[in-house]
Structure 1
Amino acid sequence: MTTPPVTYVIAGSEATGGAGCQADLRTLQQLGVYGACTLTCIVSFDPKDGWNHRFVPVDAQVIRDQAEATLADWSPASVKIGMLGAVPTIEAVRDILTEAKLPNVVLDPVLICKGQEPGAALDIDTALRTEVLPLADVLTPNKVEAQILSGIDSLESVSDFGEAAKRIAEHGPGAVLVKGGVDTPGDHAVDVLWDGTELVEFSRPKVGEHRVSGAGDTLATGISAGLALGQDLHTAVEHAKEFVTAGIGRAMAGNTPFDVVWQGRAA
């Protein structure tokens, strides 16, 4: 009987398939890890409104019901948390993590969708900081999220990424990986990990100069997969960085104004 490790994904659904739980489950499949998913929200782009997001949260009790079913069936070796997007959702996920005491929790802190009410960002930011960040083993903010969570007005260099990672870690997560990615100055995409003891840089040549949808999801889920497979954190980040860089190199173009990561095999 096949017995791959299980990663429990708590994330939103993105209708085109480029990001969210769809990207997470493809990543896990490619890396040899079984993925189970609890949906937190449903996001669909609006092609008639500049491809803004239409965001619908899943009822908090439905989130709890999904978790109950999943955790009665499986004992996850890691957890990947993506978009939560609403305070009741954050509170439900806090309860799930607290009650189940799940290992290797990787949180990709998506704070707000393009198209949501701007006022929602502050409430979500506050709830995420106080309720879920302290329960995460690894946090993977992008540059904008790192600025918000660290309180640093501008991140312009790799050393700034490191300082932001240290400040964010004061909120409780065991390790913080600031994803500089394509926003890193120069010709390399650099992510900086603060593991609680030292700063470590993970650098690869940039593949183009534009953001690719699903890249952040793929990187965070790749880390979750590595941890589920028994890798140490540095190795998991290194392998995930290689995987997402290859996926960006194989990016798919649809009719949206942005490309999406392809986690599958090269044609």
Structure 2
Amino acid sequence: MIPNVLTIAGTDPSGGAGVQADLKAFSAHGAYGMSVITALVAQTTTGVAEVHEVPPEFVRTQLDTLLDDVRVDAVKIGMLGGAGVIRAVVEVLDRYAPPVVVLDPVMVAKSGDRLLAPDAVGVLREELLPRVDLITPNLPEAADLLGEPELGAVAGMADQAARLAGLGAKQVLLKGGHLADESSVDLFLGDGGTRELSGDRVRTRNDHGTGCTLSAAIAALRPQRPDWFTAVREAKEYLTSALRAADRLDVGSGHGPVHHFHRWW
């Protein structure tokens, strides 16, 4: 079976993050990709110029129209922008109950531009988080969700992942990419307990959209793999290879994209 996988997220005209990156990651993993747009984002590899939020009512209409017609095997949620859109997504998740929901809590762009309104953090934490199967925060996002200082070392990641799970997410992938260690250590908390996933830290400035790509790859793989840990591990391996190949691309003058199709091009 070819899974149908939906991304609910904002756009990136440069193609490295957001909906465009998600659709590439879905395709790279043999999934049929679909998208519902939450925000039109004017951004490049150097930063965000402007964000035009889609009205919550139209986000709901996009979702209802699609889900009334098409079987959805997995959902990846990215940039939501504001509380109204979050609540619209929550309503639809409750109504249709898709079997797999992955949340990448997009709060701040690589450039430092904020992509989630500060007053929406509580809504995401209290209303959306308990409805997802996996959340994939990086360390700054985890600190924002928990209202505590950002971790600066691997020590403490297990406790922080447990506190995130205590907010309602069934599984947690806490990403350690912001640490300065030679290896890139992520921590997965699921039914099998807590496990580390360690990979080589790839030295490249072309790392735009890594969070979007990883969460999208997990969403595409989960319907095709026997368990969450297998899907997460394979997605991390894919992202590491996409980072290694990123310098083969020549896109923009800032943080360029990873190479989603490195296996074929």
Fold-level similarity (TM above 0.5): yes
Q: TM-score, normalised by structure 1?
A: 0.91
Letter in 1 for 2:145: L
For 2:105 and 2:114, the matched residues in 1 are separated by: 16
Residue of structure 2 aligned with 1:107, choices 103, 106, 114: 103
Q: Please give the secondary structure, in 2, of the residue aligned with 1:16.
A: coil
Whole-Å Cα distance in 2 between the matches of residues 150 and 211 of structure 1? 29
Alignment partner, residue 218 of structure 2? 223
- Can you give the 5+ residue segments of structure 1 that lack an aligned partner in the other structure? none
**1:141–1:116 CA distance, 2 compared to 1 (3 A):** closer
Letter in structure 2 aligned against 1:30: A
Kept in 2: contact 1:6–1:228 (CA 8 A): no
Is 1:258 aligned to residue 252 of structure 2? no
Give, in angstroms, the shift of residue 228 of structure 1.
1.8
Structure 1 counterpart of 2:240: 245
Residues 1:46 and 1:79: Cα distance change in structure 2 (over 3 Å): closer
2:195 matched residue in structure 1 = 200
SS at match of 1:158: coil
Paired with 2:121 and 2:142, the residues of 1 have a C-alpha distance of 11
Q: Does 1:178 align with 2:174?
A: yes
Distance 1:53 1:163, change over 3 A: farther
Aligned Cα RMSD in Å? 1.9
- Larger relative contact order, structure 1 or 2 (CA cutoff 8 Å, min sep 6): 2
Shift of 1:210: 4.7
1:32 counterpart letter in structure 2: G
Which residue number in structure 2 is paired with residue 157 of structure 1? 153
The more displaced of 246-255 and 30-39 is: 246-255
Q: Percent of counterpart pairs with the same letter?
A: 33
The verdict on how the C-alpha distance between 1:121 and 1:163 changes in structure 2, with shifts beyond 3 A counting, is: farther
2:53 is aligned, of 33, 53, 57, to 57
User: What's the secondary structure of 2:208's corresponding residue?
Assistant: coil
Q: What CA deviation, in whole Å up to 9, does each residue of 1:25-47 have, x standing for no partner?
A: 11111100111111111111279
The residue matched to 1:7 in structure 2 has which SS?
Answer: strand
**Structure-1 separation of matches of 2:106 and 2:206:** 15
CA deviation string 1:48-87 (max 9, x = no partner): xx63341111111211111122112222111100000111
Q: Distance in 2 between matches of 1:60 and 1:44?
A: 19
In 1: Cα distance, 2:204 partner to 2:151 partner = 18
Preserved CA contact (<8 Å) 1:142 1:178: yes
Contact kept in structure 2, 1:53 and 1:116, CA below 8 Å: no
Residue 134 (str. 1) matches residue 96 (str. 2):
no
Which of 201, 206, 213 in structure 1 is aligned with 2:208?
213
| One-letter amino acid of the counterpart of residue 233, structure 2 | E
Superposition deviation, residue 197 in structure 1: 5.1
